[in-house]
Amino acid sequence: MQVREILAIKGTVLYTISPDKTLADAVAIMSEQDVGSLVCFSGGRMTGMLTFREVLKAVRAGGAAWQSLRIGDVMVSDPRTGNPAMEVDDLRRLMVDQHMRYLPVMDGDTLLGVISFHDVAKAVLEEQSFENRMLKAYIRDWPDGGEKREEA
């Protein structure tokens, strides 16, 4: 399975924000949309990634003034990215090795989507379930009908 297949199942809804906005703006969007990450865009290109991990670090460091912090000051600049042809095993390895819960997927300079670790787990589970059903159907439809033969 490739990343493009996960994106096809997931859909293409993207949640973005400008690095010039405040952390309060980001938290409002993330909570309203029930998402754990926002892609930061400036001048039509991706400049960073903001996840709940960066939000929590900023809240701790910023104290009572956390809401007014600029996203550009707390986001991950130039985050690691995946590509649509990447195999899911390579994707999982990258996400585990880099301790990433969210990975932007790029095709050149075009953002195709963001894959979460939850998206990966769901896709793998669905793929295994499909393979399981196919194997059961194969066994059931075996020439003897999958039934035990009675001995005479």
| Interval 31-83: pLDDT, tens | 999 999 999 999 989 999 999 999 999 999 989 899 999 999 999 998 999 99
Distance, CA of 85 to chain centre: 15
Q: What is the pLDDT of residue 135?
A: 72
Q: Which CATH number fits domain 3-140: 3.10.580.10, 3.40.50.2020, 3.40.50.1370, 3.40.1350.10?
A: 3.10.580.10
Determine the average pLDDT of the residues in 123-146. Answer: 71
Cβ 19 vs Cβ 72: under 8 Å: yes
pLDDT digits (tens, 9 = 90+) for 9-18: 888 789 999 9
In this prediction the pTM is: 0.77
Q: Which of 74, 73, 71 is nearest to 22 (CA)?
A: 71
